[in-house]
């Protein structure tokens, strides 16, 4: 029943025969003051109505739905016909019900996507991420002030097309999503949510950091670290991009792709010191048709209890493309110190695989293709890897299907060591042929290669003019031309990274800006990640990293013809 404050009788001046009795229904009890509403009902057969202006009112989508429901309920209770069934003749009652629906539609047209601030101290638009995600309109940006925020989830059926980011003035690492010990994950995304996360740090006292199921998600400038589980767990029809970020210290793998039907991109990032059962940094178990793209990313110091110290790429005839990456100091307890690839179409370009190890086979790489797939390495350096007890110090291949192709073009396979079964540089233990074009095999031990190999313009040498090459603070053994091509400092023929008393690889770091995010790194590393280097010994606190202008694709601070050329260079990629 309506309360007195919800409905009041008002007599219109005039004689009694022509007097009108109005009932005022106030819809909005319990709503914020920004949502005023008052509708004046005329008599049963009358047409006297007062519709208030809503132009100055503000309402988000969640409030809109609740408003409509509350408005209808209050109108029905306030109606003189509330005790009987509504009929077609109740024109005034129908009018107010229609009006409630129209109000919600009118508000829908006035809501605009904008930025909302979350501050747990109460100085923003929302107290919590949960409330912001629930009520902010689609397309909005949710900015978090520095602090620790509890775990949360996003259901795409309720919230969508949102960006959650650190507020622009927040120092790096001060906006933290912190999962509790009993949380399944610090962030859970389901039901085709479309989300972007920017410049956040994600921790947990529990297991996993982020669960993604059937969603489209982008991470930019995020740090995921130090969890007992997995950094990113991705399943279902998901498309995920991880850009300009770091995943480190995860105990069950950096990224797990479990039967993913979609595209996963890892770009300009670092995956360091992660451990896993298979694939310390990335374990990918695909559905057919899915794709993994890895560009300008470092895999350093990851390990696997089984195979694939950094990458484990499972079957599925999917496409994996690795371009301009570094795999260094990774280890597998079984095969593939850096990379283990099964039945996948694999392309590796302009990539260094160095100083990795396995307890059995394939100190650097293990390839086991099947069922009409092609695995190709182009312009790659595979050096100083060790297979302790098996074959293939640099690369070990098992081809059992003659329709498969394994090719190396313009690659240098140098200074690798195999254990009991030989094939210091490359070992083919399958039935099919491995092809090498325009490549170089030298200084591999105990022998350069073993198995069925087709060599074209590929010298095989016991010794070659290799030497220590400093890439920042890391040292690998390359030829002089390869070292210079990698923007390294060559220490001379015959020099060793193990006994380098005559030189020291000393990285000269400085502030490097990635949009509004800053990291200390060398000029070379900054350039590899397409950042802007501010000079040696310059600290991030001393520079201002401005967000790139729209269209500034080369991040040089201006939009010009070079950005157009960059767009054309990647057209169709």
Please write the tens of the pLDDT for every residue from 215-228. Answer: 999 999 999 999 99
Which residues, other chains included, contact 331 with Cβ-Cβ below 8 Å and sequence gap of 6+?
Answer: 302, 303, 304, 309, 337, 356, 357, 358
Please give the pLDDT value at position 555: 66
Closest CA to 217 of 263, 186, 261: 263
Helix or strand run (H / E) with residue 449: strand 449-450
Amino acid 288: pLDDT: 63
Mean of the pLDDT values across residues 523-539?
81
Task: Give me the phi and psi of 485, to 5 degrees please.
Answer: -65, -30
Please report the pLDDT score of residue 28 as a whole number: 38
CA–CA gap between residue 19 and residue 273 (Å, rounded): 84
The pair of structure tokens assigned to 242 is: 């991880």
* Residues pairing with 349 in the sheet: 323, 378
**What is the model's pLDDT at position 60?**
44
Q: Which domains does the chain have, with CATH numbers?
A: 7-110 (no CATH), 127-276 (2.160.20.10), 465-506 (no CATH), 509-569 (no CATH)
| Predicted local confidence at residue 513, as pLDDT | 86
Q: What is the mean pLDDT of residues 426-439?
A: 92
* Residue that the structure tokens 């198995």 belong to: 451
Which pTM was predicted?
0.69
CA 259 – CA 254 distance, rounded (Å): 16
Q: What is the mean pLDDT of residues 271-290?
A: 90
DSSP for residue 445: B
pLDDT of residue 19: 35
User: How large a percentage of the chain has pLDDT more than 70?
Assistant: 77
Average pLDDT, integer, range 331-344? 97
What was the pLDDT predicted at 546? Answer: 77
Percentage with pLDDT > 90 across the chain? 54
Which is it for strands 162-166 and 282-286: parallel, antiparallel or unpaired? unpaired
Element (H, E) at 305: none
Task: Categorize the per-residue pLDDT at 573 as very low, low, confident or very high, splitting at 50, 70 and 90.
Answer: low
For residue 95, which phi and psi values (nearest 5 degrees)?
Answer: -60, -45
Span of 85-89, 184-188, 384-388, 556-560 with lowest mean pLDDT: 85-89
Write out the H or E segment, with its range, that includes residue 493: strand 489-493
Find out whether the peptide bond into 446 is cis, omega within 30 degrees of 0: yes
Q: Which residues pair with 176 in a beta bridge?
A: 148, 201
What rounded mean pLDDT belongs to the chain? 81
The average pLDDT across 135-152 equals 97
- Which has the higher per-residue pLDDT, 507 or 241? 241
């Amino acid at each position: 029943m309506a309360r007195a404050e919800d409905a009041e009788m008002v007599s219109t001046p005039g004689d009694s025969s022509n007097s009108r009795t109005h009932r005022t229904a106030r819809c909005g009890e319990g709503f914020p003051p920004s949502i005023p509403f008052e509708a004046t009902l005329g008599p049963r057969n009358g047409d006297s109505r007062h519709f208030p202006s809503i132009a100055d009112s503000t309402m988000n989508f969640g409030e809109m739905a609740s408003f409509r429901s509350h408005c209808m309920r209050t109108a029905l209770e306030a109606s003189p016909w509330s005790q009987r069934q509504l009929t077609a003749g109740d024109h005034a009652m129908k009018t107010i019900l229609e009006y409630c629906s129209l109000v919600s539609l009118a508000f829908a047209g006035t809501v605009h996507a904008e930025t909302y601030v979350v501050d747990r101290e109460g100085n923003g638009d929302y107290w919590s991420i949960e409330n912001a995600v629930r009520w902010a309109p689609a397309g909005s940006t949710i900015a978090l002030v520095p602090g620790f925020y509890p775990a949360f989830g996003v259901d795409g059926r309720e919230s969508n097309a949102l960006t959650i980011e650190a507020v622009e003035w927040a120092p790096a690492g001060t906006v933290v999503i912190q999962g509790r010990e009993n949380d399944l994950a610090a962030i859970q995304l389901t039901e085709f949510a479309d989300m972007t996360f920017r410049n956040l740090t994600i921790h947990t006292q529990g297991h996993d950091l982020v669960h993604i199921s059937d969603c489209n998600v982008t991470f930019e400038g995020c740090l995921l670290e130090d969890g007992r589980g997995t950094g990113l767990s991705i399943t279902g029809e998901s498309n995920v991009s991880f850009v300009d970020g770091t995943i480190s210290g995860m105990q069950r793998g950096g990224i797990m792709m479990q039967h993913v039907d979609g595209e996963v991109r890892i770009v300009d990032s670092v995956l360091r010191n992660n451990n896993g059962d298979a694939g310390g940094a990335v374990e990918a178990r695909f559905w057919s048709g899915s794709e993994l793209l890895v560009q300008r990313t470092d895999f350093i110091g990851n390990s696997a209890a089984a195979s694939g110290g950094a990458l484990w790429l499972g079957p599925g005839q999917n496409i994996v493309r690795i371009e301009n990456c570094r795999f260094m100091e990774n280890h597998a307890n079984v095969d593939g110190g850096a990379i283990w690839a099964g039945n996948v179409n694999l392309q590796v370009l302009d990539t260094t695989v160095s100083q990795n190890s396995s307890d059995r086979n394939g100190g650097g790489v293990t390839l086991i293709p099947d069922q009409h797939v092609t695995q190709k390495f182009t312009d790659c350096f595979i050096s100083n890897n060790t297979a302790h007890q098996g074959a293939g110090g640099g690369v070990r291949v098992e081809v059992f299907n003659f329709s498969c192709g394994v090719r190396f073009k313009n690659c240098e396979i140098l200074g690798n060591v195999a254990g009991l079964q030989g094939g210091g540089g490359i070992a083919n233990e399958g039935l099919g042929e491995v092809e090498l074009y325009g490549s170089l095999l030298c200084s591999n031990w105990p022998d350069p290669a073993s198995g069925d190999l087709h060599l074209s313009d590929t010298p095989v040498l016991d010794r070659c003019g290799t030497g220590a090459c400093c890439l920042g603070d890391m040292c690998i053994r390359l030829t002089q031309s390869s070292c210079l091509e990698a923007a390294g400092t060559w220490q001379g023929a015959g020099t060793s990274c193990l006994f380098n008393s005559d030189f020291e690889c000393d990285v000269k770091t400085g502030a490097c800006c990635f949009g509004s995010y800053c990291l200390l790194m060398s000029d070379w590393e900054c350039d590899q990640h397409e950042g802007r280097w501010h000079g040696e010994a310059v600290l991030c606190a001393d520079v201002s990293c401005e967000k790139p202008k729209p269209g500034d694709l080369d991040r040089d601070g201006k939009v010009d013809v070079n950005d157009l050329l960059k767009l054309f260079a990647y057209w169709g990629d």
